[in-house]
Structure 1
Amino acid sequence: MTGDRRDQRGRERGPARAGGRAARTAQTPAERRRTGDPARTAALDVLGEVAASDAYANLVLPPMLRSRGIRGRDAGFATELAYGTLRLQARYDAVIELAAQRPTERIDPPVLDLLRLGAHQLLGMRVPAHAAVSETVGLARSRSGVGASQFVNAVLRSIGATPVEEWLERIGATLEDPVERLALQHSHPAWVARGLRQALVADERAPEELEALLEADNAAPAVTLVARPGLADRDEVVAGSEAVAGRWTPTAAVLDRGDPTAVPGVTEGTVGVQDEGSQLVTLALAQVPVDRDGGRWLDLCAGPGGKAALLGAIAAGQGATVLANELQPHRVRLVERSVQAVPPGTVEVRLGDGRTLGEELPATFDRVLVDAPCTGLGALRRRPESRWRRQPSDLGPLSALQRDLLGAALDAVRPGGVVAYVTCSPHVAETTLVVRDVLRRRTDVDQLDARDAVRAVAGDDLPLGPGPHVQLWPHVHGTDAMFLALLRRRPQDGTTTGAGD
C-alpha cells in the first residue's frame, strides 16, 4: 500500500504522509526515550500474555504490578492503559489501519500492541500527545528495535493529529449497517451488539439505548464492596474507608479509588468485592416468602463464591444452612476462601456436577440459586478481553447447559420452595428463552414476579421492565447486566402461585 516502505534491513519505516523523516526528527533528543517506563511496560506485557496464553488481564496484571513494585498512581495508570486498550481494541485497530495505511494483519503483533497502547493514550486517556508518543516510541525501541520505533512514531503522530470524534466518524463511514457501525465505533463484536439490542427490545427499552449501553461497557467500573450481613455493617465500612454507600442494596459500598484489600474486613472475608447487581439478585432470593424456612438452601453453581458467601451470611442469621456446589476443583477452593468468615457449619462446599444434584437430592431445598455459566456479556466492563473470546457458536452449548441446570434445580427444590435463575448476560438465548423452554416441559412450576422481590430490597425507585423477570443494565442501574427469574415449585396440594403472587 501507499507509504509501506522499508529500509535496507527490511524494517518498517512508516507511511510517507504520516511523517517519514520529518516525523523521526521532530522529537528533541530529550524526547527520544530509549526505554519504556515501568507502567507502560507492564501494560504491554499484559497484552502479550493475554494474546499468547488466553490469560485474563484481571488475573495477570495485579501480581505483575506487585512483583515489579509498581504502586499508587503508576499502578492505576498501568491498569487503565491495559484494560482500556483491551476493551477498545477493535476501535483502535480500525484507526491504526487508516493511519498506517495497511491492515493490522500486516503489522507484527508486538508492534501492533505498541500501537494500540499509544492509540489509547492519545484517544482514550488524558495523556499529553508528546508524552504518549515519546514514551511509546521509547518502549518500541527497547522491545522491537529502531525500525519498529520509527514506524510507531509515524503512525502515532498521525493518530494524534486527529481528534477522537473525527476518527470515530471516519471508521464509522466504512460500514453501512447502523448496528455494525456502533459496534465498531464502541469496540464490540457485531454479533454482541445485535444481541444486546435484541435484549433491550425484549425488556421494552428503546433500541436507541444501544449506544449508551455500549458506552457503559467501555467505562472502567468502580470497585463495589459487599458488607456481608451479620459479619459487617455497610455504614461502618463507609465510615472506615473512602467508599460511599451503594445505590440499591443495604450491603453495597462503592470504592472509586484505592486498594480494596486496605478496607477493613476485606482480608478477613467479612467484606467482599461483589457487583451490586450480583448482591441484589442474591438478596432478592432471600426475600421471597416460603411456607417454611430456616432449613436448607442450595447454591448450585457456586464458584467463585461471592453469592455463596452472601447467602451463607444471610442463612446464618436465619438458622439455615447452604450447600455450595461447584464442578471445578480450583473454583471449589475459591468458594472455600470466599465463605471463610461465615459461621462454621453454615456453608458446606461440595465438588460435583450440578446437573445430577436434582436426582441425588430431590425435593430437598427451600431456596436454590442457579447462577448459571454464561457468555458473561453483562460484565464486559469488568472483563476487558472477554468480548473478543466469545463467539455466537458458544450460545448453543451454554443454553443447553443452562436448561439442564435449571431443570436440576427445580428437581432439587421442595414443593413450595423457590428457585432463582440468574445469568450475568442479557442475551435472550441465555435468559427468557431458557426459562420459557424449561417451563414448557413442566407442570409443577410457576413463575413469580421477580420485580416484587427486587423492589423489596432496592425500593420502588429502581426502574424495571415489564416483568415477570428482572433485567438490570449498566447504563441504567450502574450494575452488571444481571438477569433474574424466580420460579416456585408448586405445593403438593396443587395450589398455583403465579407471577405477582
Structure 2
Amino acid sequence: MSNEKRPYKGGHGKPGHAGKPGNGKFSQGNSNQGSGQGEGGAKRKRRRRSGSGAGVNEQNRQQSQNSQRTQNQRSQGRPQKWDDNSRGDKKRFENRGENRNDSRAESRTGRRFDGLTSVERAARRAKTEHDDTKRGGGGTSQRNKSGHERNRRSMSAREFSAAAPSARSRTADTARATVFEVLRSVAESDAYANLVLPKAIRSHRLDHRDAGFATELTYGTLRHQGTYDAILRHCVDRPLEKVGTTTLIVLRMGVHQLLNMRVPAHAALNQSVSLAREKIGAGPASFINAVLRRVSERTPDEWYELIIEDAKDDTERMALLASHPAWIVRSMRQALVAHGRPATEIEQLLEADNLAPVVNLVALPGLGSLDEAREQGAVDGELVEGSALYASGDLARLESVREGTVRAQDAGSQLVARALAAAPLDGTDTAWLDLCAGPGGKAALLGAIGVQRGASLVANEAAPHRAQLVESSMRPLPEDSYTVLTGDGRQIRETLRKNASALPGSIEPGQLFDRVMVDVPCSGLGALRRRPEARWRKSPRDIAELLPLQRQLLDAAIEATRPGGVIAYVTCSPHAAETQNIVAEVLESGAVSLLDSAAALREVALHTEGANGESVSVLAGEKDPGHTPEIKVKKGAPAVKAAENPTTAQLWPHVHGTDAMFLALLRKN
C-alpha cells in the first residue's frame, strides 16, 4: 500500500494527489497517471470502472467537456452561454470564484472582504444600527394600554435622545428656534416673555419679518395654551403631564401654526420636526410628527366643537374656547358686575385678552418728543395726550427710547398717573411719593410732570433689582428733582427717616406728602394681554395671600399723606377683592373719602368735538369707566363730607383698549 499511488476522491476538477514511490513527496496528476502499479492496484481500478465508479467517471468527463467548452468561448471573445445542463456547473463556478476571492481577502486582512471602502463600511454599520434602533433594538420594549408594543425611551431631565444621531443634522429656522428658547425660559425659569423676547430677537439678529413671526408665535402659543392642550389630549396616548416640557412646547408651537397662523401644514410639520430634532432629539421628533399630523386632520372649528363636548357648564366651555382657567372666567364675570358693567360682556373681555396689544409710547412731558417715532410709522394715541401707537419693530432702534425720554407704557398706566397729578388739591403741592415704584414707568411720568410744576418725587421700591430699574427710568429727569429709595413700603416712614439726607431739596425730613401713588402688587389679571403666561401661573390662593399686603400698603400710603392730600390706589386687576373690597374697607374706617375718580380720568383723556361743538372726553358715554360703590361708614368714625359724585374707575381691554387698570382717588381726612 505504501508504494501505491492513491487517487484523490473529491474536489471539483481539482487534480488528484498521489504518493511517488521511493520518496515522501506528492506529485500532481490524475488517477490514471503514475508508475509502478501492482496487480492489486489494477484490480481496484477495474472495480472502480464498474458500478458506481463508472458513473462518477462519466460525470467527471461531462464536467471536463463543459469546462473546455467554456474556455473555448472565452478565448474566442464570445459571451458565455449556460444551457440547462450546465446550470449546476454555473453555480459551482460562481461559488468557487467567490470562495476563492473571500479566502484570499481573509488571508491578507484577517476579515472577510466585502468590496467596500472603509468610509462606506462605516456608513453601512451606522445605518444598520439606526435600523435596529427604529425596530426597537435600541430601547426598552414598552406596551401601551391597548397592548401594542412601542419603544419609547424614558424622558430624562434633559429629554435628549441618543438614538439616530445623524437624524439631528436637520436644523430649524432661526425664528422658530428663538421662540423655542423664549418659551423654554418662560416654562422652566418663570421668565416673562415680554422681557425675554426682545433680547432674544436682538441676540439672533432677526430681521423685521422674522421678528414679527417670532412675536406672534410666542404670544399666540402662550395665549392659546389652554385650548391647545385640550386639543392635544385628543391626539396623545398619555396624559400631557407625562409629556416632557420641551416636547410639549414644540407641540403647542406646531398647533398654533396649524390652526391660527397662515403657515402651510407641510411647513408647520416639517419645521416642528426639524426643531425637535435639533433641540430635543430624534425620538421626540417622531412623536411630534405623528401628533401634529393628527392635529392637521381637522379644521379649527372642528377641533373647537370636539373639545367642548364634555364641558360641564358655560364657564368651562368659555374657559376652553377662550383659553383661560375656569376660575379666572368666573372672577372676570363677577368683576364686570362689581364695576357696573353687564355680565354678558364676559366673552368680549376674554376675547380681548387674546388680542395682541399695540405698543403704546409716552413722551415724558417737557423732556421727550414723539417726532422720531412718527417718522418710523407711529401714529398718535387715541386716549391720552403725549402718546403714540407703534408697530414698526424693535423700540431700541429709536434714539429717544434709548435715551429714556420716550418709553413704552400702556395707555391705562398713563391715564392713572396723569389723573393723580390732575386731582384737585388745596394747599401745598411740592412733595410727591410713589410708594411701589418698580419698574418705574409711572414714576418717570409723575416725575416729569412734577418738574414742570415745581414738585419733587420720592420713588420707593422694595426689591433692589426693581429699584435699579426705577433709577434707570428716572435718569432723564434733573438729578435734584427725585430720589429713589429701597425699602418696604409698609415702613415708608422709617425708610424716609434713615434716608433723610438723600431727599430732594424741596422735601424736608419728616414732611408728609401732597400726592401719593400706591400701585400695589396684585394678581395682574388686568394685563393678561401683555403677559399671557400669567394666567397659567396664578391661582385664587395668590389673591388671598395678596389682600393683607394690599391693605397694609394702602394704610402706609394714607399715613404718609398730609391731611387734604390725595392718594391714588391703583391695581392692574379688576378682581373685586383687590379693588372695590379694599376701597370699601378703608372708606369704612373714615380715614379717607372717595373722590370722583372717573371724572379725573375723563379730564386727562383726549377730547373730541361733540355734536353741538362742545368738548367731549373720549371716556364719556358708553366708555365711561366710573362706578359708584356702596359706602358704609363705621359708627364713631368722624363725619366726612363726601365728594359730589364719589366714584371708582375701571378701564377694560374690550371697552377702552387698555389694560384693566383700577383707580380710586382718595382724600385724607
Q: TM-score, normalised by structure 2?
A: 0.67
Alignment check: 8 A CA contact 2:438 2:469 kept: yes
Separation (CA, whole Å) in 1 of partners of 2:433 and 2:214: 40
Of 378, 399, 405 in structure 2, the residue corresponding to residue 270 of structure 1 is 405
Residue equivalent to 1:336: 471
Q: Distance in 2 between matches of 1:383 and 1:345?
A: 35
Query: Paired residue for 1:167?
Result: 303
The counterpart of 1:461, out of the listed 615, 618, 628, is 618
Which ranges of structure 2 fall in alignment gaps of 5 or more residues? 1-143, 156-167, 497-509, 608-616, 629-646
What is the CA distance between 1:66 and its match in structure 2?
Answer: 2.5
Match of 1:415 in 2: 563
* Greater shift in the superposed pair: 154-163 or 300-309: 154-163
1:383-398 alignment, distance < 5 Å:
383-398=531-546
Pairing partner for 2:447 from 282, 298, 312:
312
Query: Which secondary structure state, in structure 2, belongs to the residue aligned with residue 267 of structure 1?
Result: helix
> How far did 1:9 drift?
5.6
Distance 2:386 2:658 in 1: 14
Change (3 A) 1:36 1:290: same
Asked if 2 retains the 8 angstrom alpha-carbon contact of 1:423 and 1:430, the reply is: yes
Which residue identity does 1:352 align to in structure 2?
A: G
Q: Which one of the candidate residues 252, 258, 274 is aligned to 2:393?
A: 258
Greater mean alpha carbon deviation, residues 210-219 or residues 139-148: 139-148
Q: 2:261 corresponds to which residue?
A: 125
In structure 1, how many angstroms separate the alpha carbons of the residues matched to 2:153 and 2:541?
A: 40
Counterpart of 1:448 in structure 2 is 595
Contact 1:302 1:335 in 2 (8 A): yes
CA contact (8 A) 1:363 1:413 kept: no
262-271 vs 385-394, which moves further: 262-271
1:107 is matched with 243
**Contact 2:361–2:407, Cα closer than 8 Å, also in 1:** yes
The separation in 1 between residues aligned to 2:383 and 2:330, in whole angstroms, is 29
Say whether 1:473 aligns with 2:620: no
How many angstroms does 1:404 deviate by?
0.6
Structure 2 residue aligned with 1:92: 228
| Alignment partner of 1:244 is 2:379 | yes
Cα distance, 1:102 vs. partner?
3.6
**CA displacement, residues 221-260 of structure 1 (integer Å, 9 cap, x when unaligned):** 11111111111244x3553331111111102111123212
In the alignment, is residue 151 of structure 1 matched against residue 287 of structure 2?
yes
Distance (whole Å) between structure 2 residues aligned to residue 479 and residue 101 of structure 1: 41
1:195-227: CA deviation from partner (whole Å, max 9, x where unpaired)? 111111112212121111111111111111111
**TM-score, normalised relative to structure 1:** 0.89
- Greater CA drift, 141-150 or 478-487: 141-150
Distance of aligned partners of 1:431 and 1:110 in 2 relative to their CA distance in 1, 3 Å threshold: same
For 1:489 and 1:339, locate their aligned partners in 2 and report how far apart those are by CA, in whole Å.
Answer: 28
CA distance in structure 2 between the aligned counterparts of 1:179 and 1:478, rounded to whole angstroms = 24
Any conservation in 1 of the 2:586–2:592 contact (CA below 8 Å)? no
Cα displacement (A) at 1:149: 2.2
Picking from 289, 306, 319, the partner of 1:183 is 319
**Aligned AA (1:295):** T
CA contact (8 A) 2:526 2:659 kept: yes
Name the counterpart of 1:357: 492
Instruction: Tell me if the contact between 1:227 and 1:237 (Cα under 8 Å) persists in the aligned partners.
Output: no
Which residue identity is paired with 1:422? V
Per chain length, whose mean CA-contact separation is higher, i.e. which structure has more relative contact order (CA < 8 Å, sep 6+)?
1
Deviation at 1:262, TM superposition (A): 2.2
CA distance in 2, matches of 1:452, 1:238: 31
In the TM superposition, what whole-angstrom CA distance separates every residue of 1:155-191 from its partner, at most 9, and x where no partner exists? 2122122121221221122212211221122111111
Residue 303 of structure 1: aligned partner: 438
Q: Computing the radius of gyration over CA atoms, which structure comes out larger, 1 or 2?
A: 2
- Post-superposition offset of 1:359: 6.6
Alpha-carbon spacing, 1:212–1:2, altered in 2? closer, same or farther (3 Å): farther
- Unpaired runs of 5+ in structure 1? 13-31, 491-501
Give the structure 1 partner of residue 217 of structure 2: 81
How far has the Cα of 1:363 moved from its partner? 6.7
1:436 aligns with 2:584: yes
Paired residue secondary structure (2:376): coil
**Cα distance between partner residues in 1 of 2:472 and 2:427:** 30
CA distance in 2, matches of 1:107, 1:254: 40
Give the C-alpha shift of residue 375 in structure 1: 0.8
Q: How many residues align?
A: 469
How big is each residue's C-alpha offset from its partner over 1:390-429, in whole Å with a ceiling of 9 and x where there is no partner? 1111112211111011111111111111000000011011
Equivalent-residue separation in structure 1 for 2:153 and 2:448 (angstroms): 64
What SS does structure 1 have at the residue aligned with 2:436? Answer: coil
Q: Are the aligned partners of 1:336 and 1:349 in contact in 2 as well (CA < 8 Å)?
A: yes
Letter matched to residue 374 of structure 2: A
- Secondary structure at 1:384 match in 2: coil
Superposition deviation, residue 33 in structure 1: 9.1
The aligned amino acid for 1:300 is L
Output the amino acid matched with 1:350: L
Give the equivalent residue in structure 1 for 2:129: none
Aligned-pair CA distance for 1:281: 0.5
SS of the residue corresponding to residue 98 of structure 1 reads coil
| Shift, 1:77, TM fit | 1.5
Which residue number in structure 2 is paired with residue 406 of structure 1?
554
The percent of aligned pairs where both chains have the same amino acid is 53
- Give distance in 2, aligned partners of 1:59 and 1:277: 19
Q: Which amino acid aligns with 1:88?
A: H
3-state SS, counterpart of residue 433 of structure 1: helix
CA RMSD of aligned residues (A): 2.1
**Hey, what's the Cα distance between the residues in 2 that align with 1:43 and 1:4?**
37
2:547 and 2:528 map into 1 onto residues whose CA distance is 19
Q: Give the structure 1 partner of residue 87 of structure 2.
A: none
Q: Measure the CA separation in 1 of the matches of 2:154 and 2:491.
A: 59
Establish whether residue 427 from structure 1 lines up as the match of residue 606 from structure 2: no
